[in-house]
Structure 1
Amino acid sequence: MSDPLHLVCPHCQAVNRVPAERLVAAPVCGQCHQPLFTGHPLAVDEAAFQKHLARNDIPVLVDFWATWCGPCQMMAPHYAQAAAQLEPHVRLLKVDTDAEQALGARYAIRSIPTLALFKGGREVARQAGAMQAAGIVQWARAQGA
């Protein structure tokens, strides 16, 4: 049996320990008993973003976007489709750069939408521009997600 992975619950933000081989068995949160994976990206504020980066042992893919951005709106359903394909091996987050301006500044987001892949809390890859679901999945997997 492998070492357990730490996963942040998308519902209550509790950190759970799940054996790697149980990721595909629809694990639930030990605190709130909700599914640890929903097949949908999770919209986060700065505090939740930081917790997911710091405490998830799986890669975290982040869509930096804004409500007024046409390409962001076009990509949103594709990002949701990618979540259904990449979970449970990748956590997908969405950060509204208008609501969370400090995050946009900290990560030097110059254009949106921008995808950023994090492993162990560090950014390992970035891709700007709208993509379709297959392209998001292919890009993320090519980066080791």
Structure 2
Amino acid sequence: MTQNDARIVICPACATANRVPAAKLGAGGKCGKCASPLFTGAPLTLTSANFDAHASRSDIPLLIDFWASWCGPCRQMAPAFTAAAPQLEPHMRLGKLDTEAERAIAARYAIQSIPTLAVVSKGREVARQAGAMPTSAIVAWAKSAIGR
């Protein structure tokens, strides 16, 4: 395995970096530290403790749902975002960031309205979309965003 055919995948359970052969991304795999699955088919909860690992250290782009519990459209879009996860993994990691609990991260990304979706790759925001969307639109938008 060479550097060029491996991807760094961050464990959703313990935030440990794992090197995975690119050809085997679809096979899933387990974390070398905690043995948890590297892909779960569900969005992970992003916090200040794990955000930078997933947003900056991973070779897998991160699709972030910036939301809050009091936001009606956020709650309405939540099932659609969850349903998008198995359609986008392993080529994209999905995560939900509660803007009320993680105000500093929301401020770093200048989130002014919610729900807002953002795609981050290697620490750099590459796309942003505000407003609730159905699953099919989330998947199509996310795929076009990583094609940039």
Q: Could you report, residue by residue, the CA deviation over 1:71-93 in whole angstroms, capped at 9, with x for unpaired residues? A: 00000000000011000110111
Q: Counterparts of 1:14-25 in structure 2 under 5 Å?
A: 14-25=16-27
Inter-partner Cα distance in structure 2 for 1:23 and 1:104: 30
Q: Is the 8 A contact 2:56 2:121 kept in 1?
A: no
Q: How far 1:47 moved relative to its partner?
A: 2.5
Shift of the alpha carbon at 1:3? 2.2
* Structure 2 match to 1:137: 139
Letter aligned with residue 129 of structure 1: G
* Structure 1: stretches of 5+ with no match in the other structure: none
CA distance in 1, matches of 2:21, 2:110: 35
Give % identity: 57
Equivalences for 1:42-81 in 2 at 5 Å?
42-81=44-83
Which amino acid in 2 is paired with 1:126? R
> Where in structure 2 are there 5+ consecutive unaligned residues?
none
TM-score (norm 1): 0.96
- What does residue 35 of structure 1 align with? 37
What secondary structure does 1:47 align onto? coil
Displacement of 1:69 in angstroms is 0.4
Q: What residue is the counterpart of 2:127 in the other structure?
A: 125
**Corresponding residue for residue 100 of structure 1:** 102
User: How big is the shift at 1:49?
Assistant: 0.7
Aligned residue pairs: how many? 145
Whole-Å separation in 2 of the counterparts to 1:11 and 1:123:
23
AA aligned to 1:43 is T
Aligned position for 1:109: 111
TM-score computed with the length of structure 2 as normaliser? 0.95
CA RMSD of aligned residues (A): 1.1
